Amino acid sequence: VTTPIADYEGPRRAFDALLQPTCDRRILLLCGPSGTGKTRLLEHCLARKPPGVPLVPIDLRGSTTGVAEIFSRFCFALTWSLLTQFTARVAALEGGAATRIVVDRNWQLGFNNRISVVLHTGDEASRGQRSTELTDALFEDLARMTGPLLILFDTFEHAPSDVKDWLRGPFLARAAQTTTIRVVIAGQQIPDSKNIEWGHCCDLHNLRGVRDARHWLPVVRQMQRRIPTPPEETYMAAICDVLQGNPLAIMNWIEALEREESIA
């Protein structure tokens, strides 16, 4: 079952473009106030993602998602054999020499912790250096992938400030250089698209709700709701107007409508 969605034709097309073998605007930014449908849009698009395209979905809500956690999400979403540079770098920074240990299941299980220790050891300068080394290693691995890799970040505004800095700086700058990487960042606040390092390959969409009643009538039908007073479009237009096109509010309204009786 596909979740019903009203309009947002522009961002939906941008997402389709992201999944093509070649794509100029590889960084898609979705910006809008709460309830305008950013998360819904991500879900809708994910349901259309071909199964062969690897996905790294990261919700930045909650302050627990630090840079170390993001690194380990990549490792768990992708196969270990792909991340040879990254795992070798972690092992090296840990002081362990053997590259053999990276295939050790126990080493993998403690990986999140290992990355965390590596990123939080030493003074500020050396921590920054380590973070850069790991980021470079990760992108070396990602650059060897043959098909597109889709990376989603939702609720950017909730990310801790070090994660925000890392994303809008080192992460996106490298993503812009790596043609197989496709990134979507959604939030009430998003990285500034005028960035000189990656701004040229980003596509910004501001979500402002859906005010046009004609976009909602198919949703009403899909949800098998009955509009109490015809004409349908006039009724829906009044609702859209009163609720100022806010998708969350309009959707709540539609849900509260009576179900259509099935025709015998």
Ligand X SMILES: Nc1ncnc2c1ncn2[C@@H]1O[C@H](COP(=O)(O)OP(=O)(O)O)[C@@H](O)[C@H]1O
114 makes contact, choosing from ligand X, Mg ion, none, with CB < 5 to 8 Å by partner type, with: none
CB contact at 8 A, 147 and 180: yes
* Residue 32 vs 148, nearer CB to Mg ion: 32
246 makes contact, choosing from Mg ion, ligand X, none, with CB < 5 to 8 Å by partner type, with: none
Closest by alpha carbon to 254, among 228, 40, 241?
228
**According to DSSP H, which parts of 78-110 are helical?**
84-94, 105-109
DSSP letter for 199, please: G
- Residue from 12, 19, 35, 39 touching Mg ion (CB under 5 A): that is 39
* Residue 2 vs 22, nearer CB to ligand X: 2
Q: Report the b/e string of 154-174 with b at 16+ CB within 10 A.
A: bbbebbeeebbebbbebbbeb
Interface residues with ligand X (CB under 6 A)? 4-8, 32, 34-40, 210, 219, 247-248, 251
148 makes contact, choosing from ligand X, Mg ion, none, with CB < 5 to 8 Å by partner type, with: none
247 makes contact, choosing from Mg ion, ligand X, none, with CB < 5 to 8 Å by partner type, with: ligand X
What six digits make up the tokens of 214?
A: 């004609």
What CA–CA distances, in Å, run from 34 to 12, 40, 75, 155, 246? 19, 11, 31, 10, 9
188 lines the binding site for Mg ion (CB under 5 A): no
Residue position matching structure tokens 């990276």: 102
Q: Which distant-in-sequence residues (6+ apart) come within 8 Å of 58 by Cβ?
A: 65, 70, 73, 151, 152, 153, 154
Assign 113 to helix, strand or coil. Answer: helix
* Residue 156 vs 198, nearer CB to ligand X: 156
175 makes contact, choosing from Mg ion, ligand X, none, with CB < 5 to 8 Å by partner type, with: none
Which range, of 19-27, 30-38, 221-229, 234-242, touches Mg ion by CB under 5 A?
30-38
CB 9, min distance to ligand X, A: 10
CB 92, min distance to ligand X, A: 40
Which range, of 33-41, 124-132, 234-242, 244-252, touches Mg ion by CB under 5 A?
33-41
* Residue 207 vs 227, nearer CB to Mg ion: 207
Q: What is the distance between the alpha carbons of residues 102 and 174, in angstroms, rounded to a whole number?
A: 25
36 makes contact, choosing from Mg ion, ligand X, none, with CB < 5 to 8 Å by partner type, with: ligand X
